[in-house]
Amino acid sequence: MERRKFLIKTADTKPEAEQPLRSPLMQSIKAFGALLILAVLSINAWSLSQSWQRTVRTAEETAINLSLSQARQAEDTFLQTEITLRELQRDVQDEISTGVNGDSLSLIMRDLKSRLPQLHGLFYYDANGKWIATSAQPVPAGINNADREYFSYHRNNPRNSVHIGPVIRSRSTGDLVIPVSMRVNSMGGGFEGVLLATIKVDYFRRYYAYYEMGKRDVLVLMLADSTVLYARPMPDSYIGKNLSSSWLFREMLMKSDRGSGQWSAALDGQKRIFGFARSDRYPLVVAAGYDRRNLIQQWMKSRVQDVTLNLALLAGILAMGSFILRQVRMNLRYQAQLAQLRDELTILNSNLKAMAMVDGLTGLANRRQFDVYLKESLLRSAVSGHPVSLIMIDVDFFKRYNDVYGHVSGDECLRLVGEIIKTLAHRFQDLCARYGGEEFAIILPETALNDAYSVAQKAVEAVRSHKIGHAASDFPAKVVTISAGCAALTGSGNDADIQQLLTQADAALYQAKHKGRDQASL
């Protein structure tokens, strides 16, 4: 039994020896390596993040600058057109009282148109929307423009300001044009018609085409009410689209006339990095947007070399760390094996010591352990002042038992008696021991004599009630019985206490036998 316990204990130590990775040193190395890798990854992530932020800021600055330049270009275009209309306005108003000469005015318009490449045409309509003069040749007949948005605007608005309307399709040529109009008043301020200049959408299409931009980048010219005048590279179907729901008009232009940011374009739902600018002179807004996905791809291409070097550095750290871990693991395994051998020897010594303190037959404490524990109990008693009780037990007529049943049965009888006695000691500090031969003993620390006597009586009764057959006994029941003697002593710290307590208990045992056995005595 003890040998099997020893084998189980030694077997349990093997997994620990085979798992050096659980050692504090190994855990520390792994933690340091993990922190080093985390630091490298964090630094590189921070570096990449800063690089990307710089790229975004550069894109935003470029978008703002492009928007500003195009806003100024649009202002110049519309300013030249406004100056032309002002010149025509003066000529027309000078002739209102005598009647406007359409042919003469048409010649002037053709001359002015030839000076401005952005112009599609110049026109004058009277108060009823009838064509009076135009730069076009020949003058279309039977066309009335009173239904146009710009005509209704000036008829209902007496202000002498330029009005830029949404893109329309020319009734004379079918081209897409941006109408720029001005009211003509009589001497009394009455409505006398509209002067109109149309700017070719193709003019902005060609001009915007000069700039190198990605396939998904956009450059948009809009009215201040969010109506698209032209959007590169969108098809003409996007012209006239209302973008009032876009982030640009809902948030950005509410805060500033120029700026930048990232949002999904209302044109096509694509996320871009935008710059925008509002014209100071005219109700115009220009926005330039760079496709975010394309920008990310370009940025990643520019960072390939850095990322490759960083990955190579990380791979080198991992390789070095793996090599160090292997070396440490081998050293720890050797140490664990040595520790295992040491532990096995320690367990073996402990088991041998335990075996040396246990009676091999009954499994109770042997005489050696009895002597050590009794001495310790009396020394503690000398400090605490509590008595130590000792019960000495002897199996009655045991020599006869051996003579009748033999020594093998005698050993079995002693083993059974030992088990019965052991069940009577319920406290962890009580010790049951085989004193020698057929004699047993119970040490009861911190126990008074009367309490020890009760335990002794229970032991006598328990052995008798177990009814172990004993044909050679003098008692009529012919069963194995025991006699017990009790004694108690409060230790004084002297070695003589041991012999004194043993003598008293032995005397009590002799008295129990002298009285007829199968009983306990004080």
* Residue 303 maps to a domain: yes
Q: Is residue 19 part of a domain?
A: yes
Q: In what order do the strands lie in the sheet with 439-445?
A: 431-436, 439-445, 388-395, 482-489, 520-521
Same domain? For 40 and 126 the reply is yes
* Cβ-Cβ contacts under 8 Å for 505 (sequence gap 6 or more): 390, 391, 392, 441, 485, 486, 487
* Distant-in-sequence contacts of 255-260, Cβ < 8 A, 24+ apart: 258/64, 258/67, 258/68, 259/64, 260/60, 260/61, 260/63, 260/64
- 20 and 106 share one domain: yes
* Cβ neighbours around 321 below 10 Å, total: 17
Q: What is the CATH number of the domain that holds 449?
A: 3.30.70.270
Sequential DSSP letters for 76-127: HHHHHHHHHHHHHHHHHHHHTTT---HHHHHHHHHHHHHH-TTEEEEEEE-T
Amino acid 355: pLDDT: 64
**Spatial separation of the C-alpha atoms in residues 477 and 471, rounded to whole Å:** 9
Based on the domain organization, do 179 and 150 belong to the same domain? yes
pLDDT, residue 352, reads: 66
Same domain, 417 and 515: yes
pLDDT at 289: 93
The answer to whether residue 74 is domain-embedded is yes
Do the domain assignments include residue 491? Answer: yes
Instruction: Tell whether 426 and 322 lie within a shared domain.
Output: no
For the segment 476-502, the average pLDDT, to the nearest whole number, is 94
Residue 326 and residue 382 in one domain: no
pLDDT for residue 16: 47
**Is residue 440 a part of any domain in this protein?**
yes
Q: What are phi and psi of 264, to 5 degrees?
A: -85, 125
User: Which of 2-6, 109-113, 230-234, 257-261 is predicted with the least confidence, judged by mean pLDDT?
Assistant: 2-6
Please report, as a single letter, which amino acid is at residue 1.
M
* 414 and 272, same domain (yes or no): no
- Structural domain of residue 41, as residue ranges? 1-348
pLDDT at 237: 92
Q: Please give the Cα distance from 238 to 217 (Å, whole number).
A: 15
| For residues 153-162, average pLDDT | 92
pTM over 0.75: no
Identify whether 278 is part of a domain. yes
Query: For all residues of the chain together, what is the average pLDDT?
Result: 88
Within 190-291, where are the H helices?
201-208, 247, 253-255
pLDDT in tens, 266-320: 888 899 999 999 999 999 999 999 999 998 888 888 878 877 887 787 788 788 8
Q: Which amino acid is at 276?
A: F
Angle between helices 24-95 and 102-115 (to 10 degrees): 150
Q: Is 339 found in the same domain as 383?
A: no
- Choose one of 348, 379, 401: the last residue of a domain: 348
Q: What is the mean pLDDT of residues 127-156?
A: 86
Same domain for 188 and 49: yes
Which residue, of 348, 379, 408, is where some domain finishes?
348
Domain count, the chain: 2
353: in domain? no
Whether the per-residue pLDDT at 7 is higher than 70: the answer is no
Asked if 378 and 450 sit in the same domain, the reply is: yes
Of 298, 315, 348, the one marking the end of a domain is 348
Percent of the chain clearing pLDDT 70 (strictly above): 93
d(CA 116, CA 107): 15
Q: Which CATH number does the domain housing residue 284 bear?
A: 3.30.450.20
Give the separation between CA 358 and CA 422, rounded to whole angstroms: 13
Residue 356 lies in a domain: no
Task: Say yes or no to pLDDT of 35 above 90.
Answer: no
Q: What are the residues facing 121 on neighbouring strands?
A: 198
pLDDT for residue 11 is more than 80: no
Q: How many CB atoms lie within 10 A of CB 343?
A: 17
Both 224 and 191 in a single domain? Answer: yes
Does the pLDDT value for residue 15 go beyond 80? no
Indicate whether 327 and 378 sit together in one domain.
no
